[in-house]
Structure 1
C-alpha cells in the first residue's frame, strides 16, 4: 500500500544479508510465495546500468556494432538493464561509491536518466511480472559474458545525452 515501486524491491529490510544463490533456500522462498519476483544483489558478481528504453535501444545497436556483448533485460517498455562486470571492489577505494538506489529516488520519474546499480543496490531478475501487466524479460540472456562496465557506460551516456537532447529540442519546438 503506497509503495512507489510495487513488485520491484525486496520484501525484507535484511535483503543484503539474506541474499543467496542456495537452490534449496530459493525453492523454499518460491514455494512460500510462487508469484514473487527475484532480485539480484549488485556490486558482488555484477553491476547493472539502468537506462530509459529509448537510450537503451540506441546503445544496444551501437554495442552490437562494437562487438560488445553482455546480458541485457527490458523492464516493460520503459527501461533497459545492462548487466556488466562489477566495479564493487576497485583497487583504489576512492573510486568506489555506494548505491542508494534501493531507497532514493522513490520513483523513476524523479531520476529518469542513467542509474548505476553497484554495491548496496539490486535490480529485478528476469523473468518478472509487474502489477501493470508488463514484464521484465531478457533481450540478451545471462549466458553472455559480462562486459567491462566503463566501456558500456561510455556508450550509454552518449545514448542518454542524444535522446535527452532530441527530447529537449522537441519540447522547445512544440
Structure 2
C-alpha cells in the first residue's frame, strides 16, 4: 500500500486503522492526535516561523501546520524534542499532549498544512530549525 500523509498521521493514533477509517467516513476537517508518539510539535510565532520556513526551504522541512491568520506555525519534529527545547515564545507539545490536525488531503479553514505530510515520515531537524529561527530573528530585528 502506498504511504500517504493520511496513513502516516494515523500511525500516531492509539488505533491507527480505526482512526483512519473514522476520519475518512466522517469527513471531519480536524482530528486529535497524541504528540510524543511519532513526532513532537514546536509552535512558534507566525512572523518568525514564516521567515524560518523561507530560510529552511520546504524541502528541508517535515510537516508544518499553521492556524487561522498564521498567528503560529507548528513544526513537526522528532519525538523527545519538546522535552529538551528551550526558547522564548516557543511552545511545545510532546508526550502526554494532544494536538488538532487537519486532514492532509482536504482544504480546511483555520488550521491547515503549510507543508503537508507526504507519507515519507520526514520531520524537521531541530538543529536546522534552531538555526533557521536564529537567522529569522536576526533578520526581523531581534523579533
TM-score for the superposition, normalised by structure 1: 0.54
Q: Please say if residues 56 and 128 of structure 2, whose CA atoms lie closer than 8 Å, have aligned partners that are also in contact.
A: no
One of 1, 14, 17 as aligned partner of 1:20: 14
One of 32, 52, 68 as aligned partner of 1:39: 32
- Distance in structure 2 (CA, Å) of the matches to 1:120 and 1:48: 12
Q: Partner of 1:136 in structure 2?
A: 111
Unaligned runs of 5+ in 2: 1-12
- Please state how far the C-alpha of 1:122 moved relative to its aligned partner: 2.4
Q: Please say if residues 127 and 136 of structure 1, whose CA atoms lie closer than 8 Å, have aligned partners that are also in contact.
A: no
| Aligned-residue CA RMSD (Å) | 3.5
1:62 and 2:38 aligned: no
Deviations 1:29-67 (A, max 9, x none): 886x765731221111111110111111101011118x5
Q: Partner of 1:10 in structure 2?
A: none
Q: Partner of 1:123 in structure 2?
A: 99
Relative contact order (C-alpha < 8 Å, sep 6+): which is higher? 2
Runs of 4+ residues over 3 Å off in structure 1: 25-31, 33-36, 157-166
TM-score for the superposition, normalised by structure 2: 0.64
Q: Which has the larger Rg?
A: 1
Unaligned runs of 5+ in 1: 1-18, 89-95, 99-111, 167-174
Q: Please say if residues 55 and 136 of structure 2, whose CA atoms lie closer than 8 Å, have aligned partners that are also in contact.
A: no
- Distance in structure 2 (CA, Å) of the matches to 1:156 and 1:123: 22
Number of equivalenced pairs: 123
Change (3 A) 1:152 1:127: same
